[in-house]
């Protein structure tokens, strides 16, 4: 029961971080980057999906320490190779999913990602541990899988096996 409560806590924390940041991010995306409200909202959901996927791959490849280094040293992100990789992946996803130009996608990713990393880091005062990270990733990945399964069911089970 304790593990279940822990997982719910982190799931709630991730959702809370995105919920708290979304109004500010959407406002900046529309005012500073010229996106419509719909594009800005899709940018936020694409960010969440992309980060869960990218960080999930890092976890599955055993690079937990790399993630922890990035989140626990959020004041020095620009020199972190994982951070640079996440920026590039986000920019690629913004381009492919939202049809934005490559110049704009890099600018947007460079604006959004530091805010999210700092919010995650700030959630535990820059002291995220392996167990914290695994709980966050587990609950977030579970949400992503549920969403993907729901979409597949909505489109028909035939698409699920493609």
Q: What is the pLDDT of residues 100-147, one digit of tens each?
A: 999 999 999 999 999 988 887 776 555 666 566 666 655 444 444 444
Task: Please tell me whether the overall predicted TM-score, pTM, comes out greater than 0.85 for this model.
Answer: no
Residue 62 has pLDDT above 90, yes or no: no
pLDDT band at 45 (very low <50, low <70, confident <90, very high): very high
Structural domain count, the chain: 1
- Residue 50, classified by CB atoms within 10 Å of its CB into exposed (0-12), middle (13-18) or buried (19+), is buried
Q: Is residue 140 domain-resident?
A: yes
Render pLDDT for 71-84 as a digit per residue (tens, 0 to 9). Answer: 777 777 888 888 99
Domain that holds residue 62: 2-145
Kindly state whether residue 32 falls inside one of the protein's structural domains.
yes
Give CA–CA dist 40/109, Å, rounded. Answer: 12
Q: Could you tell me if residue 152 is inside a domain?
A: no
Structure confidence at residue 19 (pLDDT):
87
In a domain, 112, yes or no: yes
| Length of the chain counted residue by residue | 162
**Residue 150: what pLDDT?**
52
Closest CA to 54 of 30, 18, 6, 87: 87
């Amino acid at each position: 029961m304790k593990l279940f409560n822990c997982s719910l806590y982190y799931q709630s924390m991730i959702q809370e971080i995105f919920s708290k940041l979304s109004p500010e991010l959407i406002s900046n995306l529309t005012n500073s980057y010229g996106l419509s409200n719909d594009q800005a909202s899709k940018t936020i959901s694409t960010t969440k999906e992309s980060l869960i996927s990218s960080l999930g791959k890092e976890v599955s490849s055993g690079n937990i320490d790399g993630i922890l280094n990035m989140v626990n040293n959020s004041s020095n992100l620009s020199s972190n190779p994982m951070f640079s990789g996440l920026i590039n992946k986000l920019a690629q996803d913004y381009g492919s999913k939202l049809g934005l130009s490559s110049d704009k996608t890099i600018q947007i990713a460079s604006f959004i990602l530091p805010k999210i990393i700092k919010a995650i880091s700030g959630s535990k005062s820059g002291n995220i541990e392996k167990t914290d990270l695994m709980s966050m990733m587990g609950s977030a990945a579970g949400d992503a899988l549920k969403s993907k399964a729901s979409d597949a069911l909505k489109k028909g089970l035939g698409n699920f096996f493609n």
